[in-house]
Structure 1
Amino acid sequence: MNKAASKKSNKNKPNSVAWRFYLVLGVILLVYSGLAARSAYIQVIEPDMLRKQGDMRSLRTLSSDVQRGSILDRTGAELAISVPVETVWADPKIVVERNALTMTEHWQALADVLGHDVNKLTNRVVKNPKRRFLYVERQVSPAVADYIKALKIPGIHLRKESKRFYPAGEISAHVVGFTNVDDKGIEGVERVYDQLLTGASGAKQFRKDAKGRKIEILSVEAAEKPQDLVLSIDQRIQALAYKELKGAVSAFKATSGSVVVANVHTGEILGLVNNPSYNPNNRANTAQHRFRNRAITDMAEPGSTMKPLSVLSALEFGSAEKSTVINTSPGRMRLGGRLVKDPFNRGKLNLQEILNTSSNMGTAKLALSMPKDFLLDKFFEAGFSEDTGSGLIGESAGLMHDRQRWSKFELATLSFGYGLAITPMQLARFYATLANGGTKIPFSITKLDKAPEGERIYSTEMTQYLLALLEGVVEESATKAKVEGYRVGGKTGTSIKAIAGGYGNDYVGLFAGVAPISDPELVVVVLINEPGGDLYHGGDVAAPVFSRVMKGALQILNIAPDKLNKSGQERRSQSANVGNAVAGGHSNV
C-alpha cells in the first residue's frame, strides 16, 4: 500500500512543476513584452517627450545681448545713448525654500533703496511660491545694484541691462523720442528707426553634463551689431531755436509754439522744436499732450503766409505780370452774398504793395483772374495734401479739399490762407521750394550725402522775382524779421482759429522766411499758437523769433553775410527794378 501511494505521488509531481514553470515563464515574457512595447512607443511613436526631458536637463542657450545704437546729430553730438544698468529680479521658490523672509532687516533695506513698501514687496514675491522669476525693479543704477548685491538675500538676483539716456533732454525730445523699459522705440526717430538701432542678439547653444560642464557646442549665432543713426539736426541750431521759442511762448502767454529750420537745397531738417516739451529721461507724471510733435501733427490755417503762392500762381498763369496793378477799391466786395475786405480802401496796388500791405482784396482778385483748376493745382503741387517725406511718425498730410465745386468766395479766401489747414513743416517745405528756384524736394530727418531729386513745380524766373518781393515785405512792413548783415525775405501770417460752426477769438501768429536772399540757404518757419496778450499778429509774435533763430543759424553754419554796401542799399536796387517795371507800364485787374 505504501509503495502504491508513493508511486502515485511521484506521478503528480512533474505536472505541478510544469504548471509553475510555464506560469513564471509567461509572467517574464509579459514583462519583457510590456517593456518592449513601452520602449517602442517612447522611441518610435512619441519620441519628442523623451527628447524634451533630456534637453531640459542638458541643453542650454547662452545669449549675448547688444546695446542699442546711438543717435547723433549731424556734427556727431550724442542725442541718445545707452548706459549700463541692472535689473533686480527674484526667484520666489528659492526665497521660500531657504526661508529668506526671516531676514527682515535685509528686506527692509531692499525696500528702502528701491522706494517700495516692505510688506507689499514681500507679499508680491511670495504670492506664488512656485514661480522661478519675478521682476522686482527694472533698470537700477550701478550704485544701487552694488548695495543690493551686498545684502545677499537668497533668491534676489541682478541682471545686466541697458537704459536709454538723452543728453539733450527736452530740447530734442520731440525729434528723438524715447524707448520703453524693454528698450523698444516708442516715439520719434527711436520708433521710426527701431530695427536699425536695435540690431540682433547673438546666441550659443550647447549641451552640458550633470556637473554643469560644457560637453558639446551645438551652434553659434553671431550678434548683429546695431547701427548708429545720424540725424540731419544740428544740435546748436536746435538749442537756439528751442531757447527762443520757449521765451516767446512764455512772453506772449501762448499755449504752444513750433519752429522748423531746414536747408533749402537738400531738404535736411536742421532744427525742429516745440514748446511745451518734456524731459525724456524722466517722463513720470508728464501730460500726454506734451509728447505730441506739434510741428508735424498740428494743423492751422496759414493765413497771409499763403499770399505769395497766390501772387506766384497768377504770374505763372499769365493773368498777372510783374508790372500788374490791382484796383482794390472800394476795399471790399461781395461774393455769393459773403464779404471779402481789407481793413480800409487801399486803392490801386502793385504786386509788391499787395504783399507789403497783406491785401486780401489784392490776392482775392488775383485768384479770381485765373481758372479754378489752375489755382487749385498750384496749391496741391505745393504739397498741402501730402506729408513732407520726413518719415516721422504721426506727420499730418494737411487738409486741402479736393472737390469739384468751389465758390468764388471759397477761392478768394483760399488766396489769403483760409479754407485749408497745414502744418509748420509743410509751410517750411513750400518756402524752401520758393527759395531753391521752384523745385519741391522731400524733407529728411537724417543726414544726407547728396541732395535728393526733386520735382519742378514753379519757374526759376518767377520764384526769384517773388523772393525779391518777399525781401521788400521784410524791408517795408515785417521789419521785426530783419537780420543784421543779411538780406531776408518772408511773410507774416495771422489767422483766427476755427471752432465748431465758425471762428472763435483765438489767433495763430506765423512767420515764414528765407535767407540770405542773394543765395538762399535756410528756411525758418515760426508758429505761435494762441498768444494771450495784446500782441497776437505774426509780425509781432513770430517775426522776432524768426529774426533771432535765422541770425544764429546763419552764423553757426558760417554762411557769409550778403554783400551790402555801407548804407545797405544793394537790396533796394532790386526793389527799384520792381518799381521801374511798374512805372514803365502796368495793367489793371
Structure 2
Amino acid sequence: MSKQAKVTKGHQHFAWRFYCVIGAVLLLFVALISRAAYIQVLEPDRLRLEGDMRSLRTKTETVQRSLITDRNGVELAVSVPVEAVWVDPKILFEKDGLSMTRRWEALCEVLDLDFDTVMARMEKSKGKRFVYLQRQLSPAMSSYVKNLKIPGVYLKPESRRFYPAGEVTAHLIGFTDIDDRGLEGLERSYDQWLTGTDGKRKVRKDRGGRVIESIEVLEEAQKPQDLVLSIDQRIQALAYQELKKATEYHRATSGSVVVLDVKTGEVLAMVNTPSYNPNNRKGLKNHRTRNRAVTDTFEPGSSVKPLAVISALDAGAVDSDAVVDTSPGWMRLGGRQVRDSRNYGEMSLATILQKSSNVGVSKLALSVPIEQFLGTFYSLGFGSDTGLGLPGESTGVIHERRRWSDFEVATLSFGYGITVTPLQLAQAYAVLGSGGQMHPLSIIKVDEPLPAKQVLEPQVARDVLTMLHSVTEEGGTGLSARVPGYMVAGKTGTSRKAVAGGYGDDYVASFAGVAPLTDPRLAIAVVVNEPAGDRYYGGDVAAPVFGQVMAGALRMMNIAPDDVGDSRIAAISGGKADGPAR
C-alpha cells in the first residue's frame, strides 16, 4: 500500500471516531434535556419534595413559664435559660465519637457522671437518635460541653425554675419538675395559668443549619400571664424569721403563721417551719413540702372561746354587760368536771375571755341551743374549705351528733372536740375584725374586693372584739402580744394533743388576733406545734411571735397608731365598753 493510501485510510478512521464521539455527546445531551424536561414538566413535585426534605424544617418557639410575683412586683418564681446535653447515637457511632476517650472523660467529669456507665449506656442506645445525658446545665457548663466538640453530642435550650426567696416562700409557691410542670403549692394550683403553648414555624435552613427563610406559622405561640399574688414579701419574710426563731428556741416540731387583710380578705403572708430550699431539693423528704397552714389541723383550745360569747350574745341569752358566776371554780357535768385554774367568782364577759375561764364559757355555751352554737362555728368558716385552692387543704372536723351531752358542749366551748387549720383560725378573727363580714379569701392580688357576706351582727362582733382587747392588757393571758402604739384584740390558746385513749404530754400553742382595734386592718394567727420544755402556753410561745409580726406589718403598711386610751375603746363599742379587770 502506497504512503498516500495509508494517510487517506487514517483520515477516514479518525473521522469515524470523531463522529462517534459527537454522536455520543449528542445522545447524552438529548438524554439530559429529556430528563430535565421530564422532571420540570411531567414530574416537578418530586424535585421540590426532595429539595424540601433537605432544607425545610419545623422550628419550635419555646414559651417560658411565666413569673410569680408578690403584690409589689417582687419576683418569687422565675424561669432562667439553661441547656440540656443530649446525644445522637447514630452520628456518634458513624463518626467514631466514642474514640475521643479523653474528651468523654472530661465531659463525664463536668457532668458528675460515671464514665463506664455512660459508655455502656451509649452502647445500648445504638439504634436511637436521641438520648438525654444531662438536663438543666448552667451556662458555664454548657459552654464547656460545646467546646469539647464531640461528634453526636449536642445542646438543647430549655428553662429552669428559680425561687429567689428560697425557704421563705417554699411551702406557698411550691416547685416544678424538670419539665416545668407544677408539683407543689401555687406552681401546681395555677399550672395551666403559668404554662403557655409553644409556637411552631416552618422555615428553610442551609447546610450549616442557619435559618434563611421563614415559610409560614404553623401554630401561634400563646404566652402565659404573670401570676401576681396578694402576698407582701416584706411581711412574709418577717413572719418566717420570727416563727423560725420561736420554733428553734422552744424546740418545737413545727409552726405556722397566717396574715390576712381584714378589709379585702387577701392573704398577706403564709409561712411554715421547718421549711426547705426549693432550689436544691436533693434528699428532700415529702413531709417537709406540705403547707401546714392549710393541711394540718389541731384542736384550737381557748382561741375559740370567743365563739361561746358570740353565740350567747347573738341568741340574747346574755347582754354585753352581763355577769356570770363561776364559783367555786369548777362545775360537774355528767360525772365529769370542768375546772378553772382558780375560783374567779363573778366575772364579766370580758373577764371570762381575759382570764380564759373554762367554767365561764361552758355556762355561756350551755345557755344556747347546740344547733345555734354549732352554727356560729360554721358561720365563721370552720368545717369548710376556704376557697384558696391550695393543694391538700383540709376542712377540719366539726362532729355532728344526734345527741350532745352537756360535757361535750362544754369541751367544744373551750376548743376540744373540733379541729381547725391555722388559716381557718385567722379567717375567723378576720370576720370579727371586719364587723361580722366574711370576705372571700384570696391568694391573688385583688383590685376590688369581692362582696362580703354578713355572718355576725355588727354590734356583737364589735362588742366581742372590745372584750378581747382585755386579753392583751394587764391581767390577761396575752401580754406578750401587745404592740407599742396600737391596741390589739386577740386570744391565746393552749391545747393538749390527743393520743389513743386520751391526751398525751404534747401541746399546741396558739394566738390569734387583730389590730389596730379602732379600725382593724390585719388578722394574724400563730400556731406552734409541740413546744418542748416548761413553757408551752400560747401566751408564752405564740403571743410573742404575733406581737413581733403585727408590729412590723403595721409599720410596713403605714397604718397609723390608735392607742389613745379607754375613751376610744368605748367609742368603737357604741358606749358599752367593759374595762378589763385589773
With normalisation by structure 1, the TM-score equals 0.86
* Cα distance, 1:201 vs structure 2: 0.7
Match of 1:200, SS state, is coil
Deviates more, 1:121-130 or 1:431-440: 121-130
Task: Name which of 109, 113, 124 aligns with 2:110.
Answer: 113
Among 366, 369, 381, the residue aligned to 2:367: 369
Question: Cα–Cα, structure 1 residues 97 and 415, in superposed 2: closer, same or farther, change >3 Å?
Answer: same
- Which of these residues, 67, 73, 76, is aligned with residue 76 of structure 1? 73
Contact 2:399–2:418 (CA<8 Å) still a contact in 1?
A: yes
Amino acid at match of 1:149: K
2:289 is matched with which residue?
291
Q: Which runs of 5+ in 1 are unaligned?
A: 1-51, 583-589
Change (3 A) 1:283 1:415: same
Match for 1:393 among 391, 394, 402? 391
Q: 1:221 aligns with which of 219, 240, 261?
A: 219
The Cα offsets for residues 473-512 of structure 1, whole Å up to 9 and x where unpaired, read as: 1113111110000011100000001112221110000000
Q: Which residue in 1 is equivalent to 2:258? A: 260
**Cα pair distance change 1:211/1:417, threshold 3 Å:** closer
Q: CA contact under 8 A between 1:514 and 1:521: conserved in structure 2?
A: yes
1:72-111 deviation digits (Å, cap 9, x = unpaired): 0000100011111000001112212221111110001001
Q: Secondary structure at the match of 2:154?
A: strand
State whether structure 2 residue 138 is matched by structure 1 residue 141.
Answer: yes
Q: Tell me the SS of whatever aligns to 1:83.
A: strand
Q: CA deviation at 1:581?
A: 12
C-alpha distance 153-75 of structure 1, shift in aligned 2 (>3 A) = same
> Are residues 499 and 57 of structure 1, via their aligned partners in 2, closer, same or farther at CA, if it must alter by over 3 Å?
farther
Looking at structure 2, the residues matched to 91 and 227 of structure 1 have their Cα atoms a distance apart, in angstroms, of 36
Question: Corresponding residue for 1:486?
Answer: 486
Range with bigger deviation, 399-408 or 214-223: 214-223
Aligned to 2:201: 204
Partner of 2:577: 578
What is the correspondence of 1:18-417 to structure 2 with a 5 Å cutoff? 60-205=57-202, 217=215, 219-417=217-415
Give the conservation status (yes or no) of the 8 Å contact 1:68–1:82: yes
| 8 Å CA contact retained: 2:473, 2:580 | no
1:536 aligns to what? 536
CA offsets 1:409-456 (integer angstroms, 9 cap, x no match): 111111111110000000000000000000112211110011111221
The equivalent residue for 2:510 is 510
Q: Does the CA-based 8 Å contact 2:470-2:579 persist in structure 1?
A: no
CA RMSD of superposed structures (Å): 2.3
Is the CA contact (8 Å cut-off) linking 1:177 and 1:186 kept in structure 2? yes
Deviations, residues 195-233 of structure 1 (Å, cap 9, x unaligned): 111111111246899999989946532211111010000
Verify the 8 A CA contact 1:323 1:581 in the aligned structure 2.
no
Q: Which amino acid counterpart does residue 68 of structure 1 have in structure 2?
A: R
Task: Please name the residue that 1:431 is paired with.
Answer: 429
Aligned partner of 2:91: which letter?
Answer: I
Instruction: After TM superposition, give the deviation of residue 285 of structure 1 in Å.
Output: 0.8
The equivalent of 2:13 in structure 1 is none
Aligned equivalents of 1:199, 1:109: Cα separation in 2: 37
| Partner Cα separation in structure 2 for residue 157 and residue 73 of structure 1 | 38
For the structure 1 residues 535 and 209, does the alpha-carbon distance in structure 2 shift closer, same or farther, using more than 3 Å as the test? closer
Cα separation, 1, equivalents of 2:78 and 2:339: 55
Whole-Å Cα distance in 2 between the matches of residues 192 and 455 of structure 1?
26
Which residue number in structure 2 is paired with residue 526 of structure 1? Answer: 526
Distance change in 2, residues 1:326/1:563 (3 Å): closer
Q: What's the offset of the Cα at 1:336?
A: 2.2
Q: 1:197 to 1:579 in 2, by over 3 A?
A: closer
User: 1:34-74 CA deviation, whole Å, 9 max, x = no partner?
Assistant: xxxxxxxxxxxxxxxxxx99998887422111111000000
Equivalent residue pairs, number: 528
Cα separation, 1, equivalents of 2:281 and 2:579 = 60
* Cα deviation, residue 579, structure 1: 4.1
The one-letter amino acid paired with 1:537 is Y
Q: 2: distance between equivalents of 1:371 and 1:446?
A: 39
Which range moved further: 246-255 or 396-405?
396-405
Residue 391 of structure 1 contacts residue 444 of structure 1 at CA under 8 Å; is this kept in 2? Answer: no
Question: 1: distance between equivalents of 2:100 and 2:52?
Answer: 36
Match of 1:561 in 2: 561
Given that residues 487 and 571 in structure 1 are in contact (C-alpha distance below 8 angstroms), is that contact kept between their aligned partners in structure 2? no
Task: Out of 430-439 and 214-223, give the one that drifted further.
Answer: 214-223
Output the CA distance in 2 between the equivalents of 1:570 and 1:198.
Answer: 55
Q: For the residues of structure 1 that align with 2:217 and 2:252, how far apart are their CA atoms?
A: 61
Q: Structure 1 residue 569: deviation in Å?
A: 5.0
Distance in 2 (CA, whole Å) between partners of 1:523 and 1:431 is 6
Q: TM-score, normalised by structure 2?
A: 0.87
**SS across alignment from 1:453:** coil
Could you tell me whether the CA contact under 8 Å between 1:333 and 1:340 is conserved in 2? yes
Indicate how the Cα distance of structure 1 residues 354 and 207 shifts in structure 2: closer, same or farther if over 3 A, else same: same
Which consecutive unaligned segments of at least 5 residues does structure 2 have? Answer: 1-48
Q: 1:468 matched to which residue of 2?
A: 466
Moved more, 138-147 or 216-225: 216-225
Question: Who is 1:422 aligned against?
Answer: 420
Aligned partners of 2:89 and 2:128 also within 8 Å: yes
**Equivalent-residue separation in structure 2 for 1:233 and 1:216 (angstroms):** 44
Pair 1:569–1:407, CA change in 2 (3 A): closer
Q: How far 1:265 moved relative to its partner?
A: 1.3
2:314 is paired with a residue whose SS is: helix
Query: What is the identity, as a one-letter code, of the residue corresponding to 2:303?
Result: T
Q: Secondary structure at the residue paired with 2:171?
A: helix
Contact 2:90/2:127 (8 A) holds in 1? yes
Contact 1:387 1:395 in 2 (8 A): yes
Task: Measure how far apart 1:340 and its partner are.
Answer: 1.6
SS at structure 1 position matched to 2:528: strand
- For residue 16 of structure 1, what is the aligned residue in structure 2? none
2:463, 2:576 within 8 Å by CA — same for their partners in 1? no
**Residue aligned with 1:345, SS:** coil
DSSP-derived class of the 1:542 partner: helix
* CA contact 1:322–1:581 (8 Å) conserved in 2: no
Distance 1:513 1:250 in 2: 23
- Residue 443 (structure 2) pairs with residue 445 (structure 1): yes
Identity %: 55
Cα contact 1:96–1:126 (8 A) shared by 2: no
